[in-house]
Amino acid sequence: MGGSILLGCEAEDLASMRLAISPLRNLVDALHDGPRPAGDTARDRWWNSVRRRVPHRAIPVVELINAHPRFIPLPLVPYVPGVADNLGAELDALEAVSQERLTVEVDLYLTRAGLPKPPRALLALRDGGVRERRELAAAMRALFRACMADSWDGLRANLRRDIAARTEQAASLGLAAAAGALHAGISWRGVEGTLAIPMPGQEGDARVALAGRGLVLAPSVFGLDHVLPVLAAHRQPTLVYPAPPTTLLAREGDGLGALIGQGRARALRAIRTGCTTGELAERLGVSAPTASEHASALRNADLIVSARQGRRVRHSLTDLGDALMSANPGGAVVR
């Protein structure tokens, strides 16, 4: 038997409650091997299709995410959840966080998780400084580009549909009641002004007052089998909940991939906003010679043009490449 968090909501909290999408949180949850809702195999299919793409520099981050089956280190959780649906803003906030605050959050995780042997990367983050934070942010960015960027358009569309459905529900029931319907077991106790959130593995109930800080409800496309509250001091209180198991998942066999090959399709999508060969290699998680080979093949097919800028070569889409991208923004999807 587990306990619950009893989240006290004042009128001000209810008025400022909102729904938001966090790319970084979705990435972290997707990489976590924790338990999923019964019958939901979308995450396993996604992971099997992308695990070979994990950049070598990011392997310690994946191990860090999976150090505990249910808890994720707070430094990997967005400091600014859902800010304009912007991964860059979330990673910038990670780089800018004070070392003192980072140390407190790492220690909080270690106390809660009770790991017999804490990951070396986590201890380095706790005892390090600006360099360690920058390396973590760079690794997270490389992970997103290599593993999630190709399918993000389809995944985000599903998240937006879920938010639209919750918003419609809130219009008739109220946002607090809609929050109480996020997941099985959660309940809104209107008389008490409290959200009761079951917490597997927790002994007894814990009362937490929002005290006017508001609450962000953040759907996670590959979320675990329960709602995860983020209620640490100096953070925006957030409830991360699993999106419905009908999540759309971009697959390797999409139309564009079938036409030009999976590797070339990934490269073309990575060049969508323009990039140098070095940036293309970073986005794909491959070597510079491999990125150059992809660019050469796409250039020969008249899908991109390349122009030298000093010592670098910059690539951009041609009209034909842009047309193919418009027709295949995220590849085919399966449920």
Look at residue 45 in the predicted model and tell me its pLDDT.
Answer: 86
Total residue length of the chain: 335
Look at residue 110 in the predicted model and tell me its pLDDT.
Answer: 92
Look at residue 249 in the predicted model and tell me its pLDDT.
Answer: 45
Look at residue 255 in the predicted model and tell me its pLDDT.
Answer: 65
Q: What does DSSP say about strands 216-220 and 238-242: parallel, antiparallel, or unpaired?
A: parallel
Look at residue 334 in the predicted model and tell me its pLDDT.
Answer: 30
Nearest to 328 by CA among 252, 256, 222, 274: 256
Q: Looking at the structure, do residues 46 and 182 belong to the same domain, yes or no?
A: yes
Look at residue 58 in the predicted model and tell me its pLDDT.
Answer: 94
CA dihedral 240, 77, 252, 248 (to 10 degrees): 10
Domain end marker among 191, 219, 242: 242
Q: Looking at the structure, do residues 140 and 228 belong to the same domain, yes or no?
A: yes
User: What angle, rounded to 10 degrees, do the helices at 130-143 and 87-96 form?
Assistant: 160
Q: Looking at the structure, do residues 12 and 34 belong to the same domain, yes or no?
A: yes
Mind listing the pLDDT tens digit for each residue in 292-317? 999 999 998 889 999 998 888 999 99
Look at residue 332 in the predicted model and tell me its pLDDT.
Answer: 36
Q: Looking at the structure, do residues 223 and 322 belong to the same domain, yes or no?
A: no
What domain range is 270 assigned to? 251-334
Q: Looking at the structure, do residues 117 and 179 belong to the same domain, yes or no?
A: yes
Look at residue 213 in the predicted model and tell me its pLDDT.
Answer: 86
Q: Looking at the structure, do residues 178 and 319 belong to the same domain, yes or no?
A: no
Concatenated DSSP letters of 265-283: HHHHHHTTT-EEHHHHHHH
Q: Looking at the structure, do residues 39 and 109 belong to the same domain, yes or no?
A: yes
Separation CA 4–CA 34 (nearest Å) = 19
Q: What is the CATH number of the domain that holds 280?
A: 1.10.10.10
Domain end marker among 216, 242, 268: 242
Q: How many domains does the chain have?
A: 2
Q: What does DSSP say about strands 228-230 and 206-209: parallel, antiparallel, or unpaired?
A: unpaired
Kindly report the CA angle at 332 between 329 and 334, in degrees rounded to 5?
135
Q: Looking at the structure, do residues 44 and 102 belong to the same domain, yes or no?
A: yes
Q: Looking at the structure, do residues 82 and 173 belong to the same domain, yes or no?
A: yes
Q: Looking at the structure, do residues 45 and 22 belong to the same domain, yes or no?
A: yes
Q: Looking at the structure, do residues 75 and 109 belong to the same domain, yes or no?
A: yes
Domain end marker among 218, 242, 266: 242
Nearest to 96 by CA among 104, 108, 84, 88: 88
Separation CA 285–CA 53 (nearest Å) = 6
Mind listing the pLDDT tens digit for each residue in 223-269? 888 888 888 888 889 999 988 754 344 444 456 776 787 788 888 98
Q: Looking at the structure, do residues 72 and 89 belong to the same domain, yes or no?
A: yes
- Taking residue 38's Cβ as centre, other Cβ atoms within 10 Å add up to 7
Look at residue 245 in the predicted model and tell me its pLDDT.
Answer: 52
Average pLDDT across each block of 10 residues of the chain; the chain has 335 residues. List them in order.
83 85 94 83 86 92 92 89 80 93 92 89 92 94 90 84 85 79 84 85 84 89 86 87 60 62 85 90 85 91 90 90 74 35
